[in-house]
Chain A
Amino acid sequence: MQKINSPSEMVEMRDLCQAAFARQKVRFLVCAGTGCIAGGSMEVYAELKRLISEKGIDIDVELLFEGQESDAGAAKSGCHGFCQMGPLVRVEPKGTFYTKVKASDVPDIITATLDEDTVVERLLFKNPDGNKAVAEHDVSFYSRQTRIVLAGCGTIEPEDIRNYFAVDGYLALADIFLNHSPEQVIDIVTKSGLRGRGGGGFPAGRKWKAGLDAKATPKYVVCNGDEGDPGAFMDRSVLEGNPQAVLEGMTIAAYSIGARYGVIYVRAEYPLAVVRLLKAIEQAKEYGVLGENIMGTGFDFDIEVFQGAGAFVCGESTALTLSIEGKRGMPRVAPRPRTTEVGLYDKPTLLNNVKTFAYIPDIIRKGADWFKAIGTESSSGTAVFALTGHIANSGLIEVPMGIKLREIIFDIGGGIPKGGKFKAVQTGGPSGGCLPESLLDTPIDYDSLDEAGSIMGSGGMVIMNEKTCMVDVAKYFLQFTEEESCGQCVPCRLGTKQLLEILKDICKGRGKKEDMDLLVELSHSVHGGSVCGLGQTAANPVLTTLRYFKSEYEAHINDKCCPAGVCKDLISFRIDEDKCKGCTLCARACPVSAISGEKKEVHVIDQTLCIQCGICLDKCPNKFSAVECVSPKIIVTPKEKMEVS
């Protein structure tokens, strides 16, 4: 290990690390993101290491900085983003991309790579056109993406800083030490047009300028990794997959505003991100790119990791800083000074999202114009989304701003699986809205989504098929915000509660005709009267579903019918007597023994016992499809048994 003693040594360090990688003839990168680990990628990694060493060849887990070439290297990478197809293995230098790899596939991968110089066909991803994709960029899911923040996720080993050095890591920091004053750095950030990626979209340059102008000291740089939106995991993947980029971005920010301390606020639910960050900080300090006297310049900046304790509202800047101070995370009441003036410990604090910081090193290295050229006039750069729900290719994507929702869903996402039909796309989490098919040509940028009634948010994008009940979705989000409301202001505390109660009534078949108007009126009150963003946007899911899916509300209220077959109180399951073959699968699976009928006898569901769990529907073999979900509810139960025809 070699400590960096001056900014000019960074280039030498990069070359040294690149040379070390070049010594490995092939390199296996096994995805160690949370998704792939859940799928068993660590067993794949262990098997890979075991088999390679068994072969008696020179396996190189540690990088070699001197000496011989090695035959193979193995490393654990961060999240590639295509979590649904995990565990993923990438083989460098060719970039061969294997999906759904099991430990038992490892021998074939090794033989193909090391002995035969071929690929294992069966593990390649099959594109919708039927062609198999050998490398990652051939996969339809990746080919239309523009990866900046995610570029390092999946290609480098997050627990080894030398991987980051090899891809120009910390060269941006070295460059500003050598060539730029704080004002000049802020100027670059301003010109790049970078807007805060936490969801609000506030121009980053302006925020940094306010941080620099603030007079009080000490100043703090805080990274918001409290990714509380359900249905989102972009920040998690960046923190887990490329933590050094976040550290470098924060250090550049600290240099720009004159801060000495930084804090990264990470959600309690992200234990792996915490482990990787702590390791990253330790290594950065060892190499002298963080901590005291960074790169021998005399500039000090230290970063601590703070683990959140589970409160959605702490994503709000003032609540987040109070939480770090050990208090209840209740947003400060406006009018209040900006966090850049009065933030953590009442001192000037620059608070940005994980991704905002992660963009910085690239923007400094490649210039403001490069970033500005990507995306649209008002929203430059790329947007990172967690594409999930009823979508064929689920995972993490990065696309240029301005791309249409339709392209994301159908070209990158591969459309709705199992012959399903698209119904809605939800962005912005509990603060966002649900957009229908007619708005699929809306371009992705802060202003267009706002106009449509949703928000960009920090990047959750959940696709819903025709079997999703939009009233239930509104109820789901209100349940979330009602629970997460900090309770200090009445419009949010009671407003979300009342909205939820009305929605619950509608889903239970107790909705009244006037409820829809009442929901709208109440939504506007909650929006106008709440103290912070949580309350102000809490009604968005209600307003957008009412605006675009009104007929579903009407069906629930007027006909006591849930067209999607979701709301338990409005549905029944029945068995089609012409289709039932009397296989007994459903009857045996029914947890409440509500299904009667012997083998080869038409089965009947006793509606008085049925709890609408839907297990019979899942169990009934596709070739019979005898169980169906009906709405409105069946009241009468036929009693007599019938023979199979």
Chain B
Amino acid sequence: MEERLSKVLAPYKGKHNALIPILQEVQAELGYLSDEAMMEIAKTIGLPESQVYGVATFYAQFYFSRRGKNQTKVCTGTACHVKGAARVLDAFERELGITCGTTSEDYEHSLETVACVGSCALAPVVVVNEEVYGQFKSSKISKILENLKE
């Protein structure tokens, strides 16, 4: 991991204002921001660790623990909300056996909500590993999960 991290960080030495792009790149590389990664980032750009955490925890995009191999995001934008996003989320919680915002013990699945993915005309919308599913029905869940196993 250290090697991958130092490779990402190399071009950013001492660059304070690049903190958010750095956090994004590190997360893209490692999947989440581990304590060690946060320490390294602080050291590289020359900011106190507290400040790096302060910024990272402010934004919804960053994760601080390992996440599942498959990531499901249930959109809860206004259009999705009035078209039953809450029920879709309930159904995912039941099918995956995890609550929203958590990861399964075997690290197969993470489940979370997202404020709006901007595909409102297709509401309700669910995003599974970057794939957007529109006009979602809870009955589709088992098939999607089955396909992920392959």
Residues of A within 8 A of B (CB): 34-35, 37-39, 83-84, 227-233, 236, 267-271, 306-312, 323-330, 386-390, 394-396, 426, 429, 460, 462, 464, 468, 473, 476-477, 480, 484, 486, 591, 611, 613-615
| B85 and chain A: residue at smallest CB distance | A476
State the CA gap A387–B79 with chains docked (Å): 9
Whether the pair A394, B20 counts as a contact (CB closer than 8 A) is no
Whether the pair A310, B82 counts as a contact (CB closer than 8 A) is no
A389-B76 in contact given A38-B133, A615-B138 (Cβ < 8 Å): no
Asked if B16 is at the interface (CB within 8 A of a chain A CB), the reply is yes
| A484 and chain B: residue at smallest CB distance | B115
Whether the pair A84, B122 counts as a contact (CB closer than 8 A) is yes
Most buried by A among B58, B62, B79, B123: B79
Which residues of chain B from 48 to 101 have any CB-CB distance to chain A below 8 Å in the complex? 54-55, 58-62, 76-79, 81-83, 87, 90-91, 94
| A307 and chain B: residue at smallest CB distance | B24
Chain A proximity of B130: nearest CB distance (Å): 8
Whether the pair A227, B118 counts as a contact (CB closer than 8 A) is yes
Asked if B119 is at the interface (CB within 8 A of a chain A CB), the reply is yes
Whether the pair B58, A231 counts as a contact (CB closer than 8 A) is no
Most buried by A among B61, B82, B131: B82
Whether the pair B16, A326 counts as a contact (CB closer than 8 A) is yes
Whether the pair B119, A38 counts as a contact (CB closer than 8 A) is yes
Whether the pair A473, B118 counts as a contact (CB closer than 8 A) is no
State the CA gap A227–B119 with chains docked (Å): 12
State the CA gap A476–B17 with chains docked (Å): 35
Whether the pair A230, B116 counts as a contact (CB closer than 8 A) is yes
State the CA gap A353–B90 with chains docked (Å): 36
Whether the pair A613, B116 counts as a contact (CB closer than 8 A) is no
A233-B118 in contact given A327-B55, A389-B79, A613-B91 (Cβ < 8 Å): yes
Task: Return chain B residues, CB-CB under 8 Å to A311.
Answer: 58-60
A328-B55 in contact given A233-B118, A233-B120 (Cβ < 8 Å): yes
Whether the pair B59, A326 counts as a contact (CB closer than 8 A) is no
16 A-B pairs with CB atoms under 8 Å apart are A34-B119, A35-B134, A38-B131, A83-B119, A236-B118, A267-B118, A269-B118, A307-B21, A323-B20, A326-B16, A326-B18, A328-B58, A460-B120, A462-B79, A484-B115, A615-B91
Whether the pair B120, A231 counts as a contact (CB closer than 8 A) is yes
Task: Return chain A residues, CB-CB under 8 Å to B145.
Answer: none
Whether the pair B59, A230 counts as a contact (CB closer than 8 A) is no
Whether the pair A270, B60 counts as a contact (CB closer than 8 A) is no
Whether the pair B87, A38 counts as a contact (CB closer than 8 A) is no
State which of A83, A267, A310 has its C-beta within 8 Å of the C-beta of B122: A83
Chain A proximity of B12: nearest CB distance (Å): 11
State the CA gap A354–B82 with chains docked (Å): 27
State the CA gap A464–B120 with chains docked (Å): 14
Whether the pair B121, A269 counts as a contact (CB closer than 8 A) is no
Chain B contact patch, size range: 35 or more
Known A271-B130, A460-B120; further 9 A-B contacts with Cβ < 8 A: A231-B77, A231-B116, A268-B24, A269-B117, A311-B59, A326-B16, A328-B54, A386-B121, A486-B58
Asked if B132 is at the interface (CB within 8 A of a chain A CB), the reply is yes
State the CA gap A614–B132 with chains docked (Å): 24
Asked if B9 is at the interface (CB within 8 A of a chain A CB), the reply is no
State the CA gap A210–B122 with chains docked (Å): 41
A325-B61 in contact given A230-B77, A231-B78 (Cβ < 8 Å): no
Asked if B148 is at the interface (CB within 8 A of a chain A CB), the reply is no
Residues of B within 8 A of A (CB): 16-21, 23-24, 54-55, 58-62, 76-79, 81-83, 87, 90-91, 94, 114-123, 125, 130-134, 138
Whether the pair A326, B19 counts as a contact (CB closer than 8 A) is yes
Chain A proximity of B127: nearest CB distance (Å): 9
State the CA gap A313–B39 with chains docked (Å): 27
State which of A307, A395, A429 has its C-beta within 8 Å of the C-beta of B78: A429
Whether the pair B20, A38 counts as a contact (CB closer than 8 A) is no
State the CA gap A229–B122 with chains docked (Å): 16
State which of B61, B76, B82 has its C-beta within 8 Å of the C-beta of A464: B82
Whether the pair A228, B115 counts as a contact (CB closer than 8 A) is yes
State the CA gap A462–B79 with chains docked (Å): 6
Whether the pair A229, B116 counts as a contact (CB closer than 8 A) is yes
Whether the pair A309, B116 counts as a contact (CB closer than 8 A) is no
A389-B116 in contact given A326-B19, A591-B94 (Cβ < 8 Å): no
Chain A proximity of B137: nearest CB distance (Å): 8
| B47 and chain A: residue at smallest CB distance | A326
Most buried by A among B19, B116, B119: B116
Task: Return chain B residues, CB-CB under 8 Å to A267.
Answer: 118
Task: Return chain A residues, CB-CB under 8 Å to B133.
Answer: 38
Task: Return chain A residues, CB-CB under 8 Å to B91.
Answer: 591, 613, 615
Whether the pair B82, A462 counts as a contact (CB closer than 8 A) is yes
Task: Return chain B residues, CB-CB under 8 Å to A271.
Answer: 130
Task: Return chain B residues, CB-CB under 8 Å to A308.
Answer: 59, 61
A462-B119 in contact given A307-B21, A309-B24, A329-B58 (Cβ < 8 Å): no
| A37 and chain B: residue at smallest CB distance | B132
State the CA gap A233–B60 with chains docked (Å): 19
Chain A proximity of B15: nearest CB distance (Å): 9
Chain B proximity of A535: nearest CB distance (Å): 17
Most buried by A among B81, B83, B125: B81
Task: Return chain B residues, CB-CB under 8 Å to A614.
Answer: 87
Task: Return chain A residues, CB-CB under 8 Å to B59.
Answer: 308-311, 329
Task: Return chain B residues, CB-CB under 8 Å to A309.
Answer: 20, 23-24, 59-62
Chain A proximity of B8: nearest CB distance (Å): 15
Task: Return chain B residues, CB-CB under 8 Å to A229.
Answer: 116
A388-B120 in contact given A325-B17, A328-B54 (Cβ < 8 Å): yes
